């Protein structure tokens, strides 16, 4: 009996040890899912964002270019009032350009958690694009079915001094085809802030990927944002000098 108890406690101790430390296999799954959606090197996309509030709604359309996680450029194409505004990220720095005032404005890190264009997506989500591979450690948390697909449930904890907004992120990634179908974002006190689900899986540029992303904040009843991917090209030729302040003003 004592041997049995000892074995049980030893097993539980080993299980806790495994769950408390980063797991390379989990990191590999997160990387495959991230590469599939971003492109291993670069991407160019067009998207439409619909922002819903209890008393109003509006839509914003934009084009986006990215090179890894260090460089991104976003151009607003509609509505007319905001058309021509653009946003640039180069490594750890970000800027915005507003043709109405003819000024480039540097965005401070404190703005990462603010909603982009008044949506439930943050500047960090769409501009900074923190690397979920490099900025976090990854641990398996179980398995769950999402939309009929068997998914790995993986918990991401930020690395020390990582430039990220979240205290924890939980991802559901489908087994076999590496589709990130759900994500939960938590603050530093472990409170759920928002939930994102991905659906309408289609083939785009030769890849099977979700094309509709719905983001719902946890404590703002009636608020949600839907992001629709209209078109995307992966791993196109692109150089770092494309992501310049000159292009920020001139991109069309």
Question: pLDDT-based confidence at 126, cuts 50/70/90?
Answer: confident
pLDDT score at 15: 41
Question: pLDDT-based confidence at 252, cuts 50/70/90?
Answer: confident
Domains in the chain with CATH codes: 23-250 (2.50.20.10)
What's this model's pTM, rounded to 2 decimal places? 0.86
Residue 124 clears pLDDT 80, i.e. is over it: no
Phi first, then psi: give them for residue 27, nearest 5 degrees: -60, -40
Residue 24 clears pLDDT 90, i.e. is over it: no
Question: pLDDT-based confidence at 13, cuts 50/70/90?
Answer: very low
CA distance 102 to 60: 21
Q: Span 111-131, mean pLDDT?
A: 80
What does the DSSP 8-state code read for residue 69? T
What does the DSSP 8-state code read for residue 21? S
224 in Cβ contact with 215 (< 8 Å): yes
pLDDT tens for each residue of 214-229: 999 999 999 999 999 9
Burial class of residue 246, CB neighbours in 10 A (0-12, 13-18, 19+): exposed
**Nearest by Cα to 141 from 176, 171, 181, 184:** 171
Residue 154 clears pLDDT 90, i.e. is over it: yes
158 in Cβ contact with 136 (< 8 Å): yes
CA distance 128 to 91: 8
pLDDT tens for each residue of 47-98: 999 999 999 999 999 999 999 888 999 999 999 999 999 999 998 889 999 9
How many angstroms separate the Cα of 241 from the Cα of each of 85, 167, 192, 248? 20, 33, 38, 11
**Nearest by Cα to 70 from 242, 198, 252:** 242
Residue 169 clears pLDDT 80, i.e. is over it: yes
């Amino acid at each position: 009996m004592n041997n049995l108890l000892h074995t049980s406690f030893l097993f539980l101790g080993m299980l806790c040890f495994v769950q408390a430390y980063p797991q390379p296999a989990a990191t590999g799954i997160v990387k495959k899912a991230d590469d599939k959606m971003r492109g291993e090197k670069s991407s160019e996309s067009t998207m439409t964002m619909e922002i819903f509030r209890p008393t109003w709604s509006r839509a914003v359309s934009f084009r986006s270019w990215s090179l890894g996680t260090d460089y991104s450029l976003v151009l607003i194409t509609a509505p007319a009032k905001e058309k021509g505004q653009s946003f640039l990220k180069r490594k750890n720095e970000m800027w915005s350009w507003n043709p109405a005032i003819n000024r480039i404005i540097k965005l401070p890190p404190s703005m990462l958690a603010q909603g982009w264009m008044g949506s439930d997506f943050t500047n960090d989500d769409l501009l900074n694009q923190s690397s979920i591979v490099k900025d976090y450690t990854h641990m398996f948390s179980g398995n769950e079915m999402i939309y009929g697909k068997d998914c790995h449930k993986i918990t991401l904890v930020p690395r020390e001094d990582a430039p990220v907004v979240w205290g924890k992120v939980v991802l559901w990634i489908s087994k076999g085809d590496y589709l990130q179908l759900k994500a939960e974002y938590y603050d530093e006190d472990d409170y759920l802030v928002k939930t994102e689900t991905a659906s309408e899986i289609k083939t785009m540029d030769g890849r099977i990927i979700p094309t509709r992303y719905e983001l719902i904040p946890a404590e703002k009843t009636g608020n949600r944002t839907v992001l629709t991917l209209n078109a995307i090209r992966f791993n196109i030729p692109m150089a770092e000098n494309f992501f310049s302040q000159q292009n920020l003003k001139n991109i069309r």
